[in-house]
A and B are shown apart, each in its own frame.
Chain A
Amino acid sequence: MRFLFKTDYQDDIRLFPHSGYVTSYGLLLAALVIAPYVLSSYLMSQLVFVCIYATVGVGLMILTGFTGQASLGHAAFLAIGAYTAAYLQQFNVPFPVYFLAAGLLTGVVGALVGFPALRLQGIYLVIATISFAFIVEEIMARWESVTNGNEGMRVKTIQLLGATISRDGPTFYYLCLAVLVLTIVGTLNLLRSPTGRAFVAIRDSETAARSMGINVSLYKVKSFAISAGITGLAGVLFAHKMSFISPEMFTLQLSIEFIIVILIGGIFSLHGAVLGAIFLVMIDPFLTYLKDDMPGVISGIAATFGAGEVRAGHIQDAVAAFASANGLKGAIYGVIIVVFVLFEPLGLYGRWLKIKLFFQLFPLYKRATFKRQKIYVKSERNR
């Protein structure tokens, strides 16, 4: 076990506290760089989605995880980013320009949403962001001169420095990966700056933050703007990956998926956003596997344990029917959310920390280390 002795403030806020970090993240980055030459094209496509979802997750983590402002409207920010890109593309605006413009515009919209949200707390904020997302969705569907309404818009491939970046090629993957890595590094730097610490202070106690001299309104608006801006950048990549966008892609369902990303990953750390994105995107391949292979596997097991030929066939049909039932994905989402909230509130990253601590402290690990505190007394109504 390694002990870190911190002698000054710079030690405390280092990005890489010790050399182990450099090695492990270096290896991870190397693995991600060679991934296109190893993985199948389907998995590569999923990996691109992981990058996009993780970028959104990082944006949402700044707002919900670190500033404590829940939002169920991030699909709207993604939509604004995507539509800005698609619209500007029609006028042959180069990729870097509309990429940044989309981020900027979404950030401004985020700030505009942040202002009214200043007065709102908890549940009211959730409801307000849902309403905002609904209104944006309806605008996308009705403002036909710009968004082409429910017909949707085609998104052309990226032209950068004279080269064409196809949405299936490795270059597009590297682009998404670069955006994700830059976002994460930028966010880490933000979080160790005064702004980031103000965010965390607001999350932990607004009253205490205010009495320490933090301008709560200003930082809340900043948090909204940054979070929305990052989501807008992800929206551009999303639009290029889908190559076609229409209003019904940016529904409440998508906003909930983003919340699931950070909830499953662990709502207190940026690792969570990435882990959650991997988990969420990989549900689809898992379901395909369930549909194609699971019936055979289960009936094989049944046959081994003495079920007759006919029984095994029946079991196979039953499992196949279950696995291809219409709403299975929704049901799995529901169960996953409930299970994580009930049994793994710190998410996947929290589980990893627990396992790590278990081995570090080997015989002395106590479950109570990570126990949440229950508060029965305070009514959030009067806060």
Chain B
Amino acid sequence: MLDFVQQLVSGVALGCVYGLIALGFVLVYKATEVVNFAQGDLMMLGGFFAFTFVGILGLNYWVGFAGAVICMALFGMLAERIVVRPILGYPQFSIIMATIGLGYFLRSVAGMIWGTDDFKIETPFSQGVLRIGNLVLAYDKLSVIAATIILCALLYLFFNRTTLGTAMRASSENMLAAYYMGIPVKRVVSIVWAISAAVATCAGVLLAPITFIHSNVGLVLGLKAFPAAVLGGFGSIPGAVVGGVLIGVIESMAGFYLPQGWKDVAPYIVLLAVLLLKPEGLFGLHARKKV
């Protein structure tokens, strides 16, 4: 039983990271119908920025964290301006390929700058543990869970309660109509990319104490975040996080109870099952066919 709870908590913590990356997918998808295959690499880059600020320049953890988030938000806007904006409105396949290309580029440039070793960021909560009876929970895992809940709530409120959030939802439904209604669609898209890069950075920094940061971490985790996003329904913010947590728990349980090899495949089997049985996901809106 104790083992089960331990596995559950570490699964939830890992799942929260998947959820945060999936959240980035969902934000960009909601606003522009673009699926950003470079999301995991944005996370990796965010982690490296934070590592540079905290580990190399020796800044305070929170200052470094904030610096990384701001830098990455600007970087997200830059990436949107250069890679995505010229091809908005073209078939989805082109945009997917462009973001795959961006991901390739970021991975190898990060490898050139920071090398291919593993890096670790010292955090205020990387040492301590919380003891409840016999249960031992590491603070770094709890911090991921807490941060995910906070971020998710903030984003949910932002999208559903603020004017800018409504504008984003409108431009996702129909860019042209949104533009006619006076919404500055280009700026909105730019801001969405900034937010999603910032969320990715949070994921990267929180992840750093659990799995180390290296230049390929984005690819590995980014691909695990797809099942999370699909499971939650590709357009739903709470869905992304719930999907991420479920995938994390499934992976961690499969690693513990099933023979070797299942751990890596389990998320994808779940993904295929979801796509077959309930393609709109757990929280997705049912899409009606229009001719």
Contact = CB atoms under 8 A, between A and B. Distances in A.
Chain A interface mostly helix, strand, loop or mixed? helix
B90 A338 contact: no
Contacts, number: 152
Interface in A113-132: 116, 119-120, 122-124, 126-128, 130-132
Chain B interface mostly helix, strand, loop or mixed? helix
| Residue picked from B112, B172, B179, B291, most chain A C-beta under 10 Å | B112
A381 B235 contact: yes
Interface in B71-111: 83, 86-90, 92-98, 100-109, 111
Interface in A252-280: 252, 256, 259, 263
Nearest to B275: A128
A338 B104 CA distance: 10
B116 interface: yes
Nearest to B178: A376
A259 B103 CA distance: 15
B234 interface: yes
Contacts of B89: 374-376
B154 interface: no
| Residue picked from A252, A330, A333, A380, most chain B C-beta under 10 Å | A330
A124 B109 CA distance: 29
Contacts of A375: 89-90
Contacts of A132: 268, 272
| Residue picked from A130, A131, A377, most chain B C-beta under 10 Å | A131
A326 B101 contact: no
A327 B107 contact: yes
Contact of B275 (A116, A141, A259): A116
A256 B87 CA distance: 20
A127 B230 contact: yes
A126 B96 contact: yes
Interface in B216-254: 223, 226-227, 230, 234-235
Contacts of A256: 100, 104
Contact of B98 (A120, A131, A337): A337
Given A326-B111, A327-B215, A342-B87, A382 B289 contact: yes
Given A124-B279, A131-B271, A337-B101, 9 more contacts: A116-B272, A127-B227, A252-B223, A325-B112, A326-B108, A337-B100, A337-B104, A374-B88, A375-B90
19 contacts: A119-B275, A120-B279, A122-B93, A124-B279, A127-B271, A128-B271, A142-B260, A326-B108, A327-B107, A327-B109, A328-B112, A331-B105, A331-B109, A334-B102, A334-B107, A337-B104, A341-B95, A376-B89, A376-B176
Smallest CB-CB A-B distances: 6 pairs: A327-B108, A337-B101, A334-B105, A334-B104, A330-B108, A374-B89
Interface of B: 33, 35, 83, 86-90, 92-98, 100-109, 111-112, 116, 172-177, 179, 215, 223, 226-227, 230, 234-235, 260-261, 264-265, 268-269, 271-272, 275-276, 279, 287-291
